[in-house]
Copies of this chain bind each other. A is one copy, B any other.
C-alpha cells in the first residue's frame, strides 16, 4: 500500500431538504453573495426561486453570475472574479452541476488573484487565498462538490485544464434536485462517475484491498442504480446512491494506497471537449471501452479479468475471454443507457485526431499512464471510436 494524505475539509449536507440549512451556512461567511448558475435549468425547476427567496428573507445582498457554460471558460471566470472584486463579495454560492461548481472554484480563487487568471489555472500553486464556496448540487457526475479540482477551458488556445483550484467549504447535496435531470445527462453523469473510479482502479499495483473494494463497490452501485434512475427519474434511493457515488468518486479516497498514474481517458477526453465542446461523460463513455481493448495485454489481463469478475459478476475459464467480456459489459451498459457510443454520432471526425492526440499526451501526461500511451496510441484509440 502506498502512502496517502487525507485532507478534505468540505462539509457535506446530504439528503432531502438540506436546503433548510442554506442561510445558516452562508451566515458563517458573510452577507454579500455571488450567486453562480448555468444555463437556466434551475429557473425552470423552481430551485432558483427557492434559493432567491431564502437569500432575500435572510437579508443577503445577491449579485448574480448566471449562464455558466458546460466546459466553463476562462472568460467566465474572469467575469465572475471581477464581480467579486467590484461588489466585495463574502461568499460564492454555486447552484448547479460540475461545470458551475468548477467555474466557481476558479472565481473564488480569482477574486484575490493578482495577474492573469489563465496563468492561475495553469499554476494553482500560486493561489494564496480564496473566497469560501458553498454549493447546491443539481447533477450527479463530476464530484466537484467534494474535491479540489476544477476543469477550465480556454477556447482561444483550445486548452482544457484540470487544476487544483480548491475545495468547497460546504456542499448541499439533495438528490431530489436531480429528479428533473434528463436521461441523457443522467447517463453521461454516471459515465463520468464510473470513469473517475476506473481511472484509479486500473493502476500498476493491487495491494490496497480497502481501496480496490471501495472502487468495485462504487462501480456496482452505479451499475445497479443508473438503470433504475433512467426508468424512474424520481426514485429517491437510486438518485441518492448516484449522487453519493458522485461525491465519493473524485475525492481521492478510491485511490488511497494505490500506485497512481496519469488518468488515461480523462486526458484524451479533455481534448475532445476542448476541440468540440461535447458532453464530458459522453466522451468518456465512448473512449473507455476502446482504451481498454487497446491496452489489453498479458500485463493487464489479470486486472481486466478481476474487473469482469468483481464488478460485473462474470466468469470464464479463460482470463482473456473473461477480460473481454468485462469490457463488452461496460460498452453494453453505456449503450443501453442511451449514450451515443461513436464519435461519428456526436459529429467528430478524424480532422483533428493528430493534434488532439499530441495535446492529450502533452497535457494529460499520458506517458505516465497505467499503460503509457504515445500519440500513435491515442490516434488508434480515437480511430476505434469512429
Chain A interface residues toward B at CB < 8 A: 1-18, 175, 207-210, 213-214, 216-218, 220-221, 224-225, 236-237, 240-241, 244-245, 248, 256-257
Once the chains bind, are B209 and A221 in contact (CB under 8 Å)? yes
Shortest 6 CB-CB contacts between residues of A and residues of B: A3-B15, A213-B217, A1-B240, A6-B12, A209-B221, A7-B11
Once the chains bind, are B213 and A220 in contact (CB under 8 Å)? yes
CA of A278 to CA of B14, assembled, Å: 39
CA of A55 to CA of B237, assembled, Å: 50
Beyond the given pairs A209-B220, A213-B213, A214-B214, 13 more chain A to chain B contacts, judged by CB atoms under 8 angstroms and listed by A's residue number, are: A1-B241, A3-B14, A3-B15, A4-B12, A5-B11, A5-B12, A5-B14, A6-B10, A9-B9, A210-B245, A213-B221, A216-B217, A244-B256
Once the chains bind, are A4 and B15 in contact (CB under 8 Å)? yes
CA of A220 to CA of B175, assembled, Å: 30
Known: A6-B14, A207-B237. A1 touches B244 (CB 8 A): yes
Once the chains bind, are A241 and B208 in contact (CB under 8 Å)? yes
- Taking CB atoms, residues of chain B closer than 8 Å to A224 are 209
User: Max chain B CB contacts within 10 Å: which of A6, A18, A175?
Assistant: A6
Once the chains bind, are B257 and A244 in contact (CB under 8 Å)? yes
Identity of the chain B residue whose Cβ is nearest the Cβ of A146 in the assembled complex? B6
Once the chains bind, are A11 and B6 in contact (CB under 8 Å)? yes
Identity of the chain B residue whose Cβ is nearest the Cβ of A5 in the assembled complex? B13
Once the chains bind, are B241 and A209 in contact (CB under 8 Å)? yes
- Taking CB atoms, residues of chain B closer than 8 Å to A248 are 210
Identity of the chain B residue whose Cβ is nearest the Cβ of A175 in the assembled complex? B1
A132 to B: closest C-beta gap in Å: 15
Enumerate 6 A-B pairs (CB-CB under 8 Å) in ascending A order: A1-B15, A1-B175, A2-B15, A3-B18, A4-B12, A210-B241
Once the chains bind, are B221 and A256 in contact (CB under 8 Å)? no
A251 to B: closest C-beta gap in Å: 10
Once the chains bind, are A209 and B236 in contact (CB under 8 Å)? no
CA of A15 to CA of B209, assembled, Å: 15
